[in-house]
Amino acid sequence: MRFLITAGPTREPLDPARYLTNRSSGRMGYALAGAARHDGHDVLLISGPTTLDVPPGVDFIQVETAQQMYDAVRDMLDGVDVAILTAAVADYRPVAYSEQKIKKQGERMVLELERTPDILGSMRSVFGFKGTLIGFAAETQDVESYARGKLERKQCDMVVGNDVSRSDIGFDSRENEVVLVFPDHVEYLEKDTKEHIAMHIIEHATIIRPK
Ligand code: PMT
């Protein structure tokens, strides 16, 4: 099967010296890419900036911004059987990019932000993707119910929910503890390394029938 996996954070530039980003290390997405490749699948990893090595045998596209990730996913969907969107894509970006470094002006400053394109939300409705679609939900409360909301709104086959308020799992940690939310049931995976969690997710990904 052919997998497309997104990973890592995006960076939304403000001026030549600054950008908006988040705490994603890329580990969860890279672990998924490694597990899928280990199981003999063709894998394309589309990643924002990380310090990780690309797993051997995995095709790789490096991006920086949400817009670049959106464009890369749209352009590479041909022939993809399973898409897993793990990246922590910025939801907002600065409205204006300043060519010059922004100078200090007074005690307060207001940044104007605009929405970035929703990659997961575009998969079915804009890109017409027909394969198995797996999203992630990074939540700080009611993880299962928010994940179910995303499953339904974004027409996913599975959403992996994780609690990003904890420092021992989720963002920038070696372990995770997730709930797999399917249309008709849920499955809780105990805290484990991201590599082991990834193996379970890939196993499910290969047997789900896309809607
Ligand atoms: O990278 P690590 O340090 O290993 O951390 C892993 C993780 C916490 C980043 C990962 O497990 C995780 O939760 N990834 C999703 C992060 C996220 O942005 O979640 P969200 O609930 O805001 O977004 C929901 C889904 O929409 C995600 O599949 C996301 O990739 C996607 N999305 C979000 C915004 C956007 N503009 N386009 C998208 O496709």
Q: What is the pLDDT of residues 105-133, one digit of tens each?
A: 899 999 999 999 999 999 999 999 999 99
Q: What is the pLDDT of residues 51-78, one digit of tens each?
A: 999 999 999 999 999 999 999 999 999 9
User: Is 85 in contact with 120 (CB distance < 8 Å)?
Assistant: yes
Question: Is 62 strand, coil or helix?
Answer: strand
The pTM (predicted TM-score) of the whole model is 0.98
From residue 107, give the alpha-carbon distance in Å to each of 18, 104, 113: 19, 8, 20
Residue 194 Cα: closest atom of ligand 1: 4
User: How far does the centroid of ligand 1 lie from the alpha carbon of residue 155, in Å?
Assistant: 16
Tokens 């041909």, residue located:
78
Catalytic residue positions, numbered: 22
- Report the C-alpha gap between 188 and 29 in whole angstroms: 19
* Ligand 1 close to Cβ of residue 164 (< 6 A): yes
Q: What is the pLDDT of residues 171-186, one digit of tens each?
A: 999 999 999 999 999 9
Tokens 């198995």, residue located:
132
What pLDDT was estimated at residue 83?
98
* Ligand 1 close to Cβ of residue 116 (< 6 A): yes
